[in-house]
Amino acid sequence: MDEHVLVTGAAGYVGTHVLVELIEAGYSPVALDNRSSALTDAAQKIFQITGHKLRFYCVDLLDKSSIAQVFDEVKVDCVFHLAGLKAVRESQGNPLIYYNVNVIGTINLLEVMEDHEVYNIIFSSSSKVYGVPQYLPLDEKHPTGNCTNPYGRTKHMVEHILHDLTVSNANWNVTILRYFNPSGAHNSGILGEDQSEKPRNLMPCICHVAEGKMKSLTIFGHDYDTPDGTAMKGYTHVVDLAKGHIAALKTSHNNGNYRIYNLGAEKTYSILDMVKMFEQISGKKVAIELCDRKPGEIAMCSADSSKAHQELGWKTDRTLKQMCEDMWNWMTTKSPTQKTSQHLNHTDLPQTDIKNDTHL
């Protein structure tokens, strides 16, 4: 493909899967990440799946001059902006860090893009911008802004910044993708959520309990108005989510210069449903501990993604069972590394004053 795509947050959970889908769709993406919460050896893992030698820049979006150096060196046609902090509970304890990284970092990126006359951006947003649902499933017309945590507010702020840019300058071409609970892993068992830190999301936590790495799964809230009292959500396979980015890229010049799409599933599952499915797949008992609700949590959330289906040709294809199987496979499979040690080293990557790193 002739279009050059820069992916920020490229070493993260969604970012790595997006890179694979870009490569398999014929693109040669450029990866950018500060590696603060990166998947270990992501470049090597992506090479194992695709055979593609990834060009990577280790850059923090709070370092505007380094971002500019990347744009000076690389022809960029479109940016997939996935970089940012994403833990809801962490954002409640450290809101300034979230506003700094997620909002100021984005502004730095946008200023550099404008300086280099790069106006195409696909932004990784979140269902958290909707706050407490007024109705379900959530569609793109649902009111936003009544966010229940700082993380959601940072996403909401960036959406408004991007909208204001399209109003001020018609050259800007913006697509907003609102994620609904990314889950699962690549079916190869090579890519998934980072295992090097204490897990924060539901699926990795369940897996850690099943593996014996954690004593029990703490469930915050068991008195919601749901069939079993635990929160219910729609979960989106991360590969389906990644494919949504490719669909958005291919249709990015349709339907005006500011578009918003939900990427998520309407069908919901409770936390206990997830536990039961993992027990079935793993053959292991998952101990649970029921605790009081945490601030910022909601009882139920599901997506109406019909707009993405109609305009992007996208829909979720993978089932809950596949999500759990792929996640368990990722957590329990040791992927081979002999290919990467043989083929990937610093000489494979372009030389630059900015830190290149094969261990994306």
Catalytic residue among 13, 57, 119, 151: 151
Is 13 noted as a catalytic residue in this protein? no
d(CA 338, CA 342): 6
Half-sphere exposure of 224 (CA within 13 A, CB side): 24
Give start and end residues of each alpha helix (H) in the chain: 13-24, 42-50, 64-73, 88-93, 95-98, 105-115, 150-168, 202-211, 238-250, 271-282, 306-312, 320-332, 338-343
Task: State how far the Cα of 100 lies from the Cα of 264, in Å rounded to an integer.
Answer: 27
CA atoms within 13 A on the CB side of 341: 4
Q: Which of 68, 34, 323 is nearest to 193 (CA)?
A: 323
C-alpha distances in Å from residue 135, one per residue of 5, 234, 261, 310: 36, 14, 17, 21
Torsion of CA 353, 354, 358, 360, to 10 degrees: 180
Name residue, tokens 């993992």.
278
Residues marked as catalytic: 151
